[in-house]
Amino acid sequence: MKAYVFPGQGAQYVGMGKELYENYPAARELFEQANRILGFSITSLMFSGTDEDLKQTRVTQPAIFLHSVILARILGSNFQPDMVAGHSLGEFSAIVAAGALSFENGLILVSKRAQAMQRACELRPSTMAAILGLEDETVERICAGIQAVVVPANYNSPGQIVISGSIEGIDMAIDQLTAAGAKRAIILPVGGAFHSPLMEPARAELEKAIDQADFARPVCPVYQNVTALPARDPDGIRENLKKQLTAPVRWTQSVKNMLADGADAFYEAGPGNVLQGLIKKVDRNVWAESVKI
């Protein structure tokens, strides 16, 4: 069974999507539509901007979404997923690619998500850190015992969890997790505490936009971040999406569940190959590669 997976923030690079734009009229049309919807030329920033341009959250998230969704669209009849999943932002790409949300509504939600997250980041200094070499339960227990905001945010693969929270909470957690045997603890170059309670203002803002969007039944199950379980009911997909910004990304659990449900080939649609590496860490024998057109 084929599983298509869609990357999140951090996979961007200058020049992303340019080949699609130049070689496929259908892709060019969607990119130009995106420029009109967003009110600025995101294609200029994607194709010939700077690394700093692409690091702006308001640019990064729509750019990765566009690259991923347009790539899936160009596959046409060759895009026949048995299941889909996306990492954080990538969940929006997965939902659109699977037909549960229109291209336009998906892009509008992603743009609003990026802006809401940026505003939430400016309210309070916060950050994230990758913790390598500890069991999930150890990270969860230590974070729960700290009297400051810090939570597990991304369950990326066995032995790799990203924690998220206030500057104070992250510093305290790193000290305790290192003492508990973590091989590495790396502060990430992000603007704030994604997938933590500090994103509540963004979650509340995005919830209103999600309520206004029309959701349909997807062509295949969507394994969602909040539950790591397959969803096909439009209302269920909507509700899980509302919770995503303040809940952890259960990627390890999602991959394990897709494997248990019969996935034997994973195709990463979008820039980079980060998800392939994470999937291989869950099961080193599984087939995982980038989408080829």
Q: How far apart are CA 123 and CA 49, in angstroms?
A: 28
Specify the pairing of strand 265-268 against strand 2-6.
parallel
CA of 21: how far to CAs of 31, 147, 244, in Å? 7, 50, 31
Q: How far apart are CA 190 and CA 115, in angstroms?
A: 15
**Active-site residue, from 68, 88, 164, 196:** 88
Q: How far apart are CA 48 and CA 258, in angstroms?
A: 37
Q: How far apart are CA 111 and CA 17, in angstroms?
A: 18
Question: Is 195 a residue of the active site?
Answer: yes
The one-letter amino acid at 265: A
Contact 209, 175 (CB under 8 A): no
Sequence-separated (6 or more) residues with CB below 8 Å from residue 172? 146, 148, 150
Residues β-bridged to residue 130: 162, 186
CB atoms within 10 A of CB 201: 18
**Active-site residue, from 111, 157, 195, 254:** 195
Active-site residue list: 88, 195
